[in-house]
Structure 1
Amino acid sequence: MEYCDRSFFGSLPHVTTPELNFFLETMLCQTVVFSATIGITDQKEEGKWVYSNTDQEIGYSNWNWKGVWRLTDRNCATITIDGTWMMSDCWQPDYFFCQVPLY
Structure 2
Amino acid sequence: MDNIIQQLTDVNGNILLNMEKIDNSNPADEIFYVLVLELQSLIEQREVCLKTLVSNREFVDRQCLVDQFNLSQTLILRSTKVMEDCRILAQVDNNAKRHIKAYKAIESNR
TM-score, scaled to structure 1:
0.27
**Higher share of residues assigned strand:** 1
Mark the structure with the bigger radius of gyration. 2
**Higher share of residues assigned helix:** 2
TM-score, scaled to structure 2:
0.26
